[in-house]
């Protein structure tokens, strides 16, 4: 079984087809200066149609100024089953956070 | 309220428009002209000829929207369902504005005109009342109409009638999208599989007879110089745009004779009666009903 998964958590993007249309992930930029944020997914026969469909499904109420679509199967993701190993290590390493450190004596303007 | 209103000039008196003011559909971003605004405009109502013209444009959009609404929940994919639903609602919106404007000249509302006219009083073209058929037929009909409306509304921006120009300006932005949608599908189906190309050819032949009516002039236009667009003057651009697209899609302009259609004077195919029966039954059974 494939160890990859789409951002939706489906095990394999290639199994997530609908009537032969591949799945696409949609990223919307809400305004200039901000980055594109994942908004959801949809099915479309090709990239151009995916952008059009994304416009219908994710930007109908002035949500954005720009759209990106990416084939879901082109996204390599971390394995949900490996979550612990993948993300556990920072725990207990408080010194990685600025709040761990106390203000040195005599520092006035920190 | 009038002192605090900064958006639409009409907002302060929406209360007088009753239930429409409470409708969820009245939230329109931007300064697009809404049917509610047209009702409240204190400009002179349309002349009889201009009202007749608005009625024709409204009837085309209304009957087309009612036809297309049948796709909702039946499209081949959820995404296409939403797209066709959007196009349907856009067209319904255009119909509402045109019918509101026409009705104002006659002391009637958009609902009076949509729900309480008989079949022979409708002035829509035969193309919009044709059955949806398969997806190829829906695409071809949508393409024919979108090219036509795109050219028409672009020209109407210069109409001496400010309301018709304003309605067209709003409609044009939406028809721009409809046209792109149907052009994209024409390319994909034409260049798709043998079966999709075959179905497109069948659909083109089937709907071609209804094309000529779109470009037929009437005596009405003699009274509307500078206000209306003479349909025959759109033909060359329509042919050019369609021909170019069909060539790119590996399809050909049909060589099929035109049908005799007189929808503009109330002579319709047998299809329109069924469409109106479904569209009008609720309003006629419960006159004045709101929810």
pLDDT tens digit sequence for B157-170: 999 999 999 999 99
Given a cut of 70, is residue A9 above it in pLDDT? no
pLDDT score at B27: 45
**Alpha-carbon distances of A39 from A45, A53, A102, rounded to whole Å:** 19, 13, 39
| Percent share of chain B, pLDDT over 90 | 81
Q: Cβ of B83 and A48 within 8 Å? A: no
Listed in order, strand segments (DSSP E) in chain A are 23-29, 37-43, 66-71
* DSSP character at residue A35: P
Q: Cβ of A56 and B78 within 8 Å? A: no
Q: Which of B77, B135, B176, B180 to mutate to test the interface with A (most CBs of A within 10 A)?
A: B77
Tell me how many degrees the CA angle B60-B61-B62 measures, rounded to the nearest 5: 95
pLDDT tens digits along A14-41:
444 455 899 999 999 988 889 999 999 9
ipTM: 0.72
Show the tokens assigned to A51: 């952008």
**CB-count exposure of residue A41 (10 Å: 0-12, 13-18, 19+):** buried
Report pTM. 0.82
Q: Are A110 and A103 in contact (CB under 8 A)?
A: yes
Chain B interface residues (partner A, CB cutoff 8 A):
29, 76-79, 82-83, 86, 180-181, 184, 188
How many CB atoms within 10 Å of residue B126? 24
Q: Cβ of A46 and B181 within 8 Å? A: no
Nearest to B79 among A46, A48, A57 (CB): A57
């Amino acid at each position: 079984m494939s160890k990859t998964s789409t951002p939706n958590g489906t095990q394999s993007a290639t199994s997530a087809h609908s009537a032969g249309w591949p799945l696409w992930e949609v990223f919307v930029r809400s305004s200039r200066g901000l980055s594109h944020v994942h908004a959801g997914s949809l099915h479309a026969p090709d990239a151009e149609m995916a952008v059009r469909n994304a416009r219908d499904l994710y930007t109908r109420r002035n949500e954005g100024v720009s759209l990106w679509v990416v084939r879901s199967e082109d996204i390599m993701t971390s394995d949900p089953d490996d979550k612990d190993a993948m993300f556990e290590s920072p725990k207990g390493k408080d010194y990685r956070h600025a709040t761990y450190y106390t203000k040195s004596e005599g520092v006035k303007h920190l | 309220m009038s002192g605090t209103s900064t958006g639409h000039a009409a907002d302060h008196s929406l209360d007088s428009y009753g239930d429409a003011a409470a409708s969820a559909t009245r939230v329109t971003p931007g300064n697009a002209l809404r049917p509610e605004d047209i009702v409240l405009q204190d400009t002179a109502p349309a002349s009889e000829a201009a009202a007749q013209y608005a009625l024709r444009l409204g009837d085309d959009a209304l009957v087309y929207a009612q036809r297309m609404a049948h796709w909702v929940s039946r499209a081949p994919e959820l995404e296409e369902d939403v797209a066709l639903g959007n196009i349907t609602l856009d067209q319904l919106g255009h119909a509402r504005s045109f019918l509101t404007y026409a009705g104002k000249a006659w002391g009637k509302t958009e609902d009076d005109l949509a729900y309480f006219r008989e079949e022979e009083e409708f002035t829509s073209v035969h193309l919009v009342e044709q059955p949806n058929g398969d997806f190829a037929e829906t695409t071809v009909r949508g393409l024919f109409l979108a090219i036509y409306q795109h050219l028409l509304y672009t020209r109407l921006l210069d109409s001496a009638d400010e309301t018709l120009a304003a309605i067209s300006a709003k409609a044009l932005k939406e028809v721009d999208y409809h046209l792109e949608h149907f052009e994209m599908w024409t390319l994909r189906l034409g260049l798709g599989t043998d079966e999709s190309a075959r179905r497109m050819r069948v659909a083109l032949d089937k709907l071609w007879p209804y094309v000529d009516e779109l470009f037929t002039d009437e005596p009405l236009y003699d009274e509307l110089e500078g206000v209306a667009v003479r349909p025959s003057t759109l033909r060359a651009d329509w042919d050019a745009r369609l021909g170019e697209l069909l060539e790119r899609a590996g399809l050909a302009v049909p060589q099929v004779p035109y049908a005799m259609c007189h929808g503009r004077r109330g002579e319709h195919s047998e299809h329109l009666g069924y469409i109106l029966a479904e569209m009008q039954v609720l309003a006629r059974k419960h006159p004045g009903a709101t929810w």
